[in-house]
Structure formats: structure tokens, C-alpha cells
Amino acid sequence: MINRYFNWMYDLVCVNRYSKRLSYRKLLNYLFQTDFIYIIGMDGNRAEDGINLRYRFGHECGYADAEISNYLDDRQCSVLEMMVALSDRCEEHIMDDPDIGNRTGKWFWDMIENLELDGMSDTSFNECYVEEVIDRLLNREYGRNGEGGLFYIPHCPYDLRSEEIWYQMMWYLDRFIKN
């Protein structure tokens, strides 16, 4: 079931339109194996969204909640789960536009690009580099404007290192809504 769940998440965000037809299984697997640790309390909501993604998978694939609990709830939310759930929430609750179609993958790959991980396809995967980037993210050691984090916002009046991920995303999305 763990492999099916990983493949389900991979498919949610790796539509050819957004993943540039390269395989990113190594990168996404690394993110899946890495616990999402947060230091700002409200980011616990992002972890909860990641855990809830497991149950969405179960419902869409015909698994009972008890099966999901038995097979997938033996660990905390991963970085991949948090990012996929955040991308999904962004699309479904904020940026939904039937004329454009589902952009869950776009929001996910925007975060991957902002983290500067878009060069980490399977053929050029560098685990040491990815580990440094994810440590920087989890320890909030990126730029005050989010450079090197999930959401880069040029000329941001806030220090994004001290703001919860949800607010960072809202400010990042402002530029899409205003255009």
C-alpha cells in the first residue's frame, strides 16, 4: 500500500505538463522518506493536511480508513505529503479555475523550483544537495523574502522565515490573483 500511495501522490503532481517529461522519482521518494518537522506551531495544520491526504488516497482508491490507519499512519507527515497536500489545497480551495483546469502540479513544481530542486531529476539526483536544501527549509534558513524556501516573494515586506507556510503561500498567490 505504501508504494501505491507514493505512486498516487507522484501521479497527482507529475503530469507531463509540469514535470517536463523527466522522472523525479528519486527526489520525491527522498521527500517522502523525510519527516516534515515544523517550528512554527500553525504549520501543524500543514502536517495535518498531509496526514489527511492519506485518507483521501484511501477513499479514492477504495481502502477503508482502518486500512489506511494500519498501513500508513505509523509515521508523521512527510515533506512530500505536506507539499502535495498544500498544492492540492491551493488548487481546490483558492486557485480553482475550470477554464484553466487542475493546476495542482503547477503549485507543487513552483515550490520545487523555489527550493531550487528542479534540477534533481533521476539522472542528476544529488542526495547531499537535496538534504542540504530540505534542512534549510525545515530549519527556516532561507532568505527573508523566501528565496530558497517554498515561496519566493521579491520585495516582500515580511520576514517569511517567521511566518507560517499558509501565509507565505497566500502572499505568493497574490501575484497570480492580481494579474
Residues comprising the chain, all counted: 179
| Number of structural domains the chain divides into | 1
Q: What does the alpha-carbon distance between residue 47 and residue 52 come to, in Å, rounded to a whole number?
A: 9
Domain that residue 85 falls in: 2-14+23-178
pLDDT over 80 (residue 65) = yes
Phi first, then psi: give them for residue 74, nearest 5 degrees: -95, 10
Checking if the pLDDT of 58 tops 90, the result is yes
SS3 2: helix
Percent of the chain with pLDDT over 90: 77
Q: Mind listing the pLDDT tens digit for each residue in 148-158?
A: 999 999 998 99
d(CA 102, CA 93): 12
The tens digit of pLDDT for each residue in 124-150 reads 999 999 999 999 999 999 999 999 999
pLDDT at 179 over 80: no
- For 98-121, what is the mean pLDDT? 86
Q: Compute the average pLDDT of residues 74-100.
A: 84
Whether pTM > 0.85 for this model: the answer is yes
Query: What are the helix (H) ranges across the chain?
Result: 2-13, 16-19, 25-33, 44-61, 65-72, 79-89, 104-114, 127-138, 165-178
Looking at residue 90, its pLDDT comes to 84
